[in-house]
């Protein structure tokens, strides 16, 4: 099967790193198709970034010409997944929800460790929408900006471990990595911590493969039916006057 994996920001290096993670998690025979949005922020660290990213990713997904069997949306805590569910007939799995759902199978309460504290309310809203917020023991922030997470992976890992231990002391028994494309960090944390560490990209790939394998996709009888045909002026292109599906 072919899984389209969309980065939430315009940084190509992050798309590459995310798709490397995705490929490492995928089964033999699964092909990972990378997608970097053609506009939007270089990283998502605010509500403004997240809304900009949602529109840019949705437009970029619409513009993909080649067929694919599932979409994995790789922006931790970012907006947009419900829109993709409307636009597509294939399964859509966001890494935030993927990580949360798998984490619920591994322990009693999961915690998220992420970059900047200001993104915690955005992540919380995304987790609330999954329905698993009551299983969440909190969102912990290291204070490291997204684009600085790979500057010194050892230092980043040390800071993530500090927050993960705070979370465990506070009652969590599973840690979710609150960012994407950081397989080095994930490896170091797995080696450091004695609790399961869930990477959303790998989780989403596994869930997309499972849904595809079971022939399951988004329900189209209610809120996720294709959007009504209408005139939409979309950035960087002529107005679309037809339907969108």
19 binds a copy of itself (CB under 8 A): no
Considering only residues 205 to 244 of the shown chain, the ones binding a copy of itself according to CB under 8 A are: 206-207, 209-211, 213-225, 227-228, 230-236, 244
Taking the complex as a whole, the smallest distance from the CB of residue 174 to a copy of itself amounts, in Å, to 5
> In whole angstroms, how large is the CA radius of gyration of the chain?
17
Taking the complex as a whole, the smallest distance from the CB of residue 232 to a copy of itself amounts, in Å, to 4
56 binds a copy of itself (CB under 8 A): yes
State the angle between helix axes of 95-104 and 120-130 in degrees (0 to 180), rounded to the nearest 10: 60
Nearest CA-CA partner of 216 in 85, 56, 73, 127: 85
Give CA torsion, residues 181, 218, 32, 120, to 10 deg: 0
Considering only residues 86 to 105 of the shown chain, the ones binding a copy of itself according to CB under 8 A are: 86-87, 91-93, 97-98, 101-102, 104-105
Give the DSSP H or E segment for 121.
helix 120-130
Which residues are CB-contacts of 143 (< 8 A; sequence separation ≥ 6)? 115, 116, 117, 159
Considering only residues 141 to 160 of the shown chain, the ones binding a copy of itself according to CB under 8 A are: 145, 147
43 binds a copy of itself (CB under 8 A): yes
CA 17 to chain centre: 13
- Nearer to a copy of itself among residue 2 and residue 187 (C-beta): 187
Tokens encoding 173? 């028994």
Taking the complex as a whole, the smallest distance from the CB of residue 171 to a copy of itself amounts, in Å, to 8
Number of residues that bind a copy of itself (CB under 8 A): 98
Q: Cα-flanking dihedrals φ and ψ of residue 133, to 5°? A: -55, -35
Taking the complex as a whole, the smallest distance from the CB of residue 131 to a copy of itself amounts, in Å, to 4
**What is d(CA 15, CA 94) in angstroms, rounded to the nearest whole number?**
15
Which of 12, 13, 128, 151 is close enough to bind a copy of itself by CB under 8 A?
Answer: 128
Q: What is residue 112's DSSP assignment? A: E
- Nearer to a copy of itself among residue 108 and residue 151 (C-beta): 108
Which of 75, 77, 80, 178 is close enough to bind a copy of itself by CB under 8 A?
Answer: 80
Taking the complex as a whole, the smallest distance from the CB of residue 158 to a copy of itself amounts, in Å, to 20
Taking the complex as a whole, the smallest distance from the CB of residue 137 to a copy of itself amounts, in Å, to 11
């Amino acid at each position: 099967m072919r899984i389209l994996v969309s980065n939430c920001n315009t940084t190509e290096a992050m798309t590459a790193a995310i798709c490397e993670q995705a490929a490492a998690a995928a089964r033999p025979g699964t092909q990972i198709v990378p997608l970097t949005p053609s506009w939007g922020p270089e990283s998502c660290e605010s509500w403004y970034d997240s809304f900009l990213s949602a529109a840019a990713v949705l437009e970029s997904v619409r513009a993909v010409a080649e067929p694919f069997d599932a979409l994995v949306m790789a922006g931790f805590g970012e907006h947009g997944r419900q829109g993709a569910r409307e636009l597509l007939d294939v399964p859509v799995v966001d890494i935030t929800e993927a990580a949360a759902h798998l984490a619920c199978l591994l322990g009693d309460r999961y915690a998220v460790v992420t970059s900047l504290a200001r993104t915690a309310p955005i992540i919380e809203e995304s987790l609330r929408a999954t329905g698993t917020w009551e299983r969440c023991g909190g969102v912990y922030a290291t204070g490291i900006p997204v684009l600085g997470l790979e500057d010194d992976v050892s230092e980043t890992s040390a800071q993530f471990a500090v927050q993960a231990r705070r979370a465990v002391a506070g009652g969590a028994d599973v840690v979710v990595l609150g960012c994407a494309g950081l397989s080095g960090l994930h490896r170091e944390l797995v080696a450091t911590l004695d609790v399961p560490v869930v990477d959303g990209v790998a989780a989403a790939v596994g869930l997309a493969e499972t849904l595809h394998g079971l022939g399951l996709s988004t329900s189209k009888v209610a809120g996720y039916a294709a959007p009504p045909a209408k005139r939409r002026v979309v950035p960087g292109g002529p107005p679309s006057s037809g339907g969108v599906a």
